[in-house]
Structure 1
Amino acid sequence: MTSTYTKSAIVEWVTILGESGVVVAGSENFGASTTGTSRAIPAVLRPENQEQVAAVLQVAQRWQVAVYPVSTGNNWGYGSANPVEDDCIILDLSRLDRISGFDPEMGVVTVEPGVTQGALRDFLDHQEGNYLVPVTGAGPTCSILGNALERGYGITPVTDHFAAVTKIEAILPDGTRYQTPLSELGAAEVDGLFKWGLGPYIDGLFSQGNFGVVVNMTIALAPVPETVTAFFFSTKDDAKLEALIPTVRAVLRSLGGSVVAINLLNSQRMLSMMTPFPEDKAVNGVLPAREVNSMANSHGVPAWSGVGAIYASKEVARAARRTLRRLLGPVTDRLIFINRRKVDTVQAVARLLPGRLATRVKGMADTLSGALEIMHGSPNDVALALAYWRSGNLPPPGQPKNPARDGCGLIWFAPLVPIRGDDVRRYINMIESVCPQYGVNPLITLTTVNDRCFDSTVPLLFDRSDADATAKANDCYRALVSAGQQEGFLPYRLNNDAMGILNTGDSAFSRLASQLKATVDPNFILAPGRYVPRIKRSEV
Structure 2
Amino acid sequence: MNSTSIESAITEWVTILGDSGVVAASEADFGASTIGTKRSIPAVVRPETQAQVALVLQVAQRWQVAVYPVSTGNNWGYGSANPIEDNCVILDLSRLDRISDFDPELGVVTVGPGVTQGALREFLDSHEGDYLVPVTGAGPTCSILGNALERGYGITPITDHFAAVTKIEAILPDGTLYKTPLSEIGGAEVDGLFKWGLGPYLDGLFSQGNFGVVVNITIALAPAPETVTAFFFSIKDDAKLEALVPTVRAVLRSLGGSVVAINLLNSQRMLSMMTAFPESRAVDGVLPAHEVDTLANSHGVPAWSGVGAIYASREVARAARRTLQRLLGPVTDRLIFINRRKVSLARTVARALPGRFATRVKGMADTLSGALEIMHGTPNDVALSLAYWRSGTLPETGKPKNPARDGCGLIWFAPLVPIRGDDVRRYIDMIESICPQYGVNPLITLTTVNDRCFDSTVPLLFDRRDADATARANSCYRALFEAGQKEGFLPYRLNIDAMGVLNTDSSSFSRLASRLKAAVDPNFILAPGRYVPRIKSSEV
Scaled by the length of structure 2, the TM-score of the pair is 0.99
> For the residues of structure 1 that align with 2:47 and 2:313, how far apart are their CA atoms?
45
Counterpart position of 2:343 = 343
Counterpart position of 1:107 = 107
Counterpart position of 1:143 = 143
Map Cα deviations across residues 22-78 of structure 1 (whole Å, 9 max, x no partner).
Answer: 003735841111000100000000000000000000000000000000000000100
* Cα offset, 1:99, TM superposition: 0.3
Counterpart position of 1:374 = 374
Residue aligned with 1:485, SS: helix
> For the residues of structure 2 that align with 1:219 and 1:533, how far apart are their CA atoms?
29
Task: Determine if contact 2:25/2:44 at 8 Å carries over to the other structure.
Answer: no
Aligned alpha-carbon RMSD (Å): 0.9
Are positions 1:121 and 2:135 aligned together? no
**AA aligned opposite 2:286:** V
* Cα offset, 1:360, TM superposition: 1.1
Are positions 1:195 and 2:195 aligned together? yes
Identity, in percent, stands at 86
Counterpart position of 1:475 = 475
**AA aligned opposite 2:118:** G
Counterpart position of 1:306 = 306
Counterpart position of 2:158 = 158
Counterpart position of 1:450 = 450
Residue aligned with 1:217, SS: strand
Task: Determine if contact 2:139/2:379 at 8 Å carries over to the other structure.
Answer: yes
> For the residues of structure 1 that align with 2:417 and 2:282, how far apart are their CA atoms?
29
> For the residues of structure 2 that align with 1:413 and 1:25, how far apart are their CA atoms?
27
Counterpart position of 2:62 = 62
Counterpart position of 1:90 = 90
* Cα offset, 1:537, TM superposition: 2.1
Task: Determine if contact 2:53/2:171 at 8 Å carries over to the other structure.
Answer: yes
**AA aligned opposite 1:177:** L
**AA aligned opposite 2:463:** D
Map Cα deviations across residues 243-263 of structure 1 (whole Å, 9 max, x no partner).
Answer: 000000000000011000000
1:241-390 equivalences under 5 Å are 241-390=241-390
Counterpart position of 1:179 = 179
Residue aligned with 1:85, SS: coil
Task: Determine if contact 2:210/2:531 at 8 Å carries over to the other structure.
Answer: yes
**Residues 1:279 and 1:2: Cα distance change in structure 2 (over 3 Å):** farther
Count of paired positions: 540
* Cα offset, 1:504, TM superposition: 2.1
Are positions 1:237 and 2:237 aligned together? yes
Q: Which runs of 5+ in 2 are unaligned?
A: none
Map Cα deviations across residues 469-503 of structure 1 (whole Å, 9 max, x no partner).
Answer: 00000000000000000000000000011001111
**AA aligned opposite 1:415:** P
Scaled by the length of structure 1, the TM-score of the pair is 0.99
Task: Determine if contact 2:34/2:77 at 8 Å carries over to the other structure.
Answer: yes
Task: Determine if contact 1:99/1:115 at 8 Å carries over to the other structure.
Answer: yes
> For the residues of structure 1 that align with 2:356 and 2:465, how far apart are their CA atoms?
33
**AA aligned opposite 1:333:** D
* Cα offset, 1:505, TM superposition: 1.7
> For the residues of structure 1 that align with 2:281 and 2:537, how far apart are their CA atoms?
55
> For the residues of structure 2 that align with 1:360 and 1:401, how far apart are their CA atoms?
24
* Cα offset, 1:426, TM superposition: 0.1
Counterpart position of 1:207 = 207
> For the residues of structure 1 that align with 2:2 and 2:295, how far apart are their CA atoms?
52
Q: Which runs of 5+ in 1 are unaligned?
A: none
> For the residues of structure 2 that align with 1:35 and 1:341, how far apart are their CA atoms?
40
**Residues 1:25 and 1:383: Cα distance change in structure 2 (over 3 Å):** closer
**AA aligned opposite 2:203:** D
Task: Determine if contact 1:27/1:41 at 8 Å carries over to the other structure.
Answer: no
Task: Determine if contact 2:25/2:31 at 8 Å carries over to the other structure.
Answer: no
Map Cα deviations across residues 241-288 of structure 1 (whole Å, 9 max, x no partner).
Answer: 000000000000000110000000000000000000000100000000
> For the residues of structure 1 that align with 2:264 and 2:341, how far apart are their CA atoms?
25
Q: Which moved more, 1:25-34 or 1:91-100?
A: 25-34
Residue aligned with 1:30, SS: coil
Task: Determine if contact 1:28/1:41 at 8 Å carries over to the other structure.
Answer: no
**AA aligned opposite 2:222:** A
**AA aligned opposite 2:35:** T
**AA aligned opposite 2:491:** P
> For the residues of structure 1 that align with 2:169 and 2:229, how far apart are their CA atoms?
37
Residue aligned with 2:525, SS: coil
1:400-415 equivalences under 5 Å are 400-415=400-415
> For the residues of structure 2 that align with 1:412 and 1:245, how far apart are their CA atoms?
23
> For the residues of structure 2 that align with 1:53 and 1:394, how far apart are their CA atoms?
35
> For the residues of structure 2 that align with 1:386 and 1:104, how far apart are their CA atoms?
35
* Cα offset, 1:358, TM superposition: 1.2
Moved over 3 A (4+): none
> For the residues of structure 2 that align with 1:533 and 1:425, how far apart are their CA atoms?
34
Counterpart position of 2:17 = 17
1:479-498 equivalences under 5 Å are 479-498=479-498
**Residues 1:208 and 1:25: Cα distance change in structure 2 (over 3 Å):** closer
Residue aligned with 1:515, SS: helix
Map Cα deviations across residues 485-535 of structure 1 (whole Å, 9 max, x no partner).
Answer: 000000000001100111122211010000000000000000000000112
1:490-509 equivalences under 5 Å are 490-509=490-509
**AA aligned opposite 1:532:** V
Counterpart position of 1:440 = 440
Task: Determine if contact 2:25/2:41 at 8 Å carries over to the other structure.
Answer: no
* Cα offset, 1:388, TM superposition: 0.3
**AA aligned opposite 1:453:** C
Counterpart position of 1:222 = 222
